[in-house]
Chain A
Amino acid sequence: MRDYEKYIRYRTFPTPWCPGCGDGVILKSIAMAFAELNLDPDDIVVVAGIGCSGRMPTYFNTNTLHTTHGRALTFATGIKLAKPEKLVVVISGDGDATAIGGNHLIHAARRNIGIKMILINNGIYGMTGGQVSPLTPPKFFTETTPYGNIEPHFNVRELLTAAKATFVARETVNRLMQLKQVIKKSFQHKGFSVVEVMSNCHVNLGRRNKMKSPLVMTKYIRDITMNMADFEKLPPEEQAPKYPLGIFVQDTQRLEYTDLYYNHIVPVAQQTGVQGEK
């Protein structure tokens, strides 16, 4: 048994994911990050919402919680506030995190609460059968954009940077070792972190856009992504359809929310005490 396998809950296998899905790579990279940090499985809780990504916690041999659509961050906020010393990981898809759960995403970032979010961006609602998401690229065909997508997609990096997230990174399922490394770094970050993982849904997005095999789709992901250094050299018009990779924001100065609450607000309340109600 390899180190990371003790974080995998094999008894709940098989997974519901299609053959060739990037979710398996992500599952493994997260488990590897746990192993490299040598964490006690009981000191971890993995929380997820709904969708293919929502099923991922079931397969971690840690404390795990499968919640409602888009709201994983809210449950995670409760857990983190109750037990700040625990590693609270949220796994979310692009629809889950940026559509129905978009409000919670920006507020978690604004609070800088120490939740570690893995945002799996496959550009589609996979489990419900291939509907357009806020991260589906323009012109793509989906079950609900049969004539092509007319909406622009969110840029997660810019969205979270604007919301003052203190750790923002992007990686792809094509680069397991880099992905594991970035996830590990995000786990070591004290505040709120988001690692956006570009993943492939060849079944529900690729199939309708001439990329029906996992190989073609992962090649497509390789083609649209590049290291930050290379990205910055491109003229603006060529930057638009590309996704830079790397750690974009890593702010270690701003205090984490539970730290602020328990180490700053609680002592202030206890010492000065706002005049209590009778």
Chain B
Amino acid sequence: MSQRKVLQGNIIVAKAALAAGCDFFAGYPITPSSEIAQYMSKEMPKMERTFIQMEDEIASLGACIGASLAGRKPLTATSGPGFSLMQEHIGMAVMAEVPVVIVNVMRGGPSTGMPTKPAQADMMQARWGTHGDHPIIALYPAFSDEIFSETVRAFNLAEKYWNPVILLLDEVLGKAHMDVEIPEPGSYEVFWEKTHEIKDLNIYDRKLGENPPRIDFFHGYPIHIDSLEHDAHGWPSFDAKTVDKMQKLRMQKIYQNLDDIIKYKEYFMDDAEVMVFSFGISARGALAAVKTAREQGIKAGLFQALTIWPFPRAALQERFKKTKKVLTVEMNMGQMKYEVERIAPCDVEKQTLLRANGMPFSPAEVLDAIKEFAK
């Protein structure tokens, strides 16, 4: 029997991380994510797992990458300003292909912004925050059960695809105490890569689109890991052909496995005339609005993205064959709406409901927008 209890969103993340085998946490205090670090500092030593509070967020992600290369499953948690500081090391984790999970409990920005207010302001930072071309995975749960399942999935995807995975949350979801059903261990998948025996130095060599094996230090064959562009051995290389190959390997491990990575939920979408596209806290107001709209005879539906990056392009395009109106609801001045606009055919009408003032959209506000749009 799974247990129903009340937990803060941040604590659900921490519990799910531990359930997913997270055995290393390095972080730096920042509102509204600090409860994750606090919980880990209490629970991890009991389990002989490792917790450390570092001197800043750059150091936190650095320590996580180091631990990952030494065989651990690391987690760090932060919010906007700290997430900005982590960007260089997100790039390092992509380049060296190191699994690591980064939680960003989003708050109002830019800069110090509104530490105690929710926002969905880092959607694009999650995608393009670090420099250079790179693949990234970002997940964004909205309900308590999803906070658990998506956290576990973040670890699984990181381990499977050898890439940093960003778990987005917002201040409301992080700080609220909510009823949640913590599933029994064994009822969900936890991906464990069997320790890969390193027999030669071709550590990065593989076929295009193939999942890489997890490599780490101290397996009997000393290896080199580099933040520089490198060849299949990991040695620095700027040879155009080699660089081309390595970049494609890194991109295709993600883009040839979209079915495994992309997850979304659809509510009332089968005959929907107006689609609300949303995620996180905004999707919760939107879902209540869509239900009320249905009661009032308006054919509205909700497409809730759980995987934000890679963007669920194919699934949306399938919906656009029948649903010709899309309303993007997000707590920012317009970020994911560009993705929707980019992929929606010309005959699909696009509308937005945007705000970044720290107030989540209430169901009534979304309903008004749906009604106006449905006319």
Contact = CB atoms under 8 A, between A and B. Distances in A.
Please determine if A and B sit in direct contact within the complex, based on CB atoms under 8 angstroms apart. yes
Interface of A: 9, 12, 41-45, 47, 55, 57-58, 61-68, 71, 73-83, 86, 103-104, 107, 261-262, 265-266, 268-270, 273-274, 276-278
Interface stretch (B54-62, B138-146, B297-305, B331-339): B54-62
Nearest to B91: A68
Contacts of B226: 58, 65-66
B227 A81 contact: no
A81 B63 contact: yes
A71 B62 contact: yes
A163 B50 CA distance: 24
B68 A78 contact: yes
B24 interface: yes
Interface stretch (B148-156, B214-222, B312-320, B344-352): B214-222
Contacts of B227: 66-68
A77 B42 contact: no
Given A71-B89, A78-B66, A270-B45, A104 B59 contact: yes
Among A47, A68, A261, A265, the most chain B Cβ lie within 10 Å of the Cβ of A68
Nearest to A100: B58
B221 A82 contact: no
A107 B64 CA distance: 17
25 contacts: A9-B224, A12-B224, A42-B221, A45-B70, A45-B217, A55-B236, A58-B236, A61-B222, A64-B222, A66-B227, A74-B54, A74-B61, A74-B62, A74-B63, A75-B66, A77-B52, A78-B66, A78-B68, A78-B70, A82-B67, A83-B71, A103-B56, A266-B46, A266-B48, A270-B45
A42 B74 contact: no
A65 B63 CA distance: 13
Interface in B26-57: 26, 39, 42-43, 45-46, 48, 50, 52, 54-56
Given A65-B225, A278-B7, A77 B54 contact: yes
Given A64-B224, A68-B227, A77-B54, 20 more contacts: A12-B224, A42-B218, A58-B226, A61-B222, A62-B222, A63-B217, A63-B224, A65-B226, A66-B226, A67-B92, A68-B92, A71-B58, A71-B62, A74-B58, A77-B26, A81-B63, A83-B71, A103-B55, A261-B45, A269-B46
A246 B354 CA distance: 64
A78 B64 contact: yes
Contacts of B11: 277
Interface string B180-223: 00000000000000000000000000000000000001111111
Contacts of B264: none
Given A43-B218, A45-B217, A74-B54, A65 B69 contact: yes
Contacts of A57: 224
Among A64, A65, A78, the most chain B Cβ lie within 10 Å of the Cβ of A78
A58 B62 contact: no
A82 B46 contact: no
B55 A67 contact: no
A75 B228 CA distance: 16
Contacts of B221: 42
A200 B64 CA distance: 34
B46 to A, nearest CB: 5
Given A66-B224, A261-B50, A79 B70 contact: yes
Contacts of B24: 78, 81-82
A278 B5 contact: yes
Nearest to B72: A82
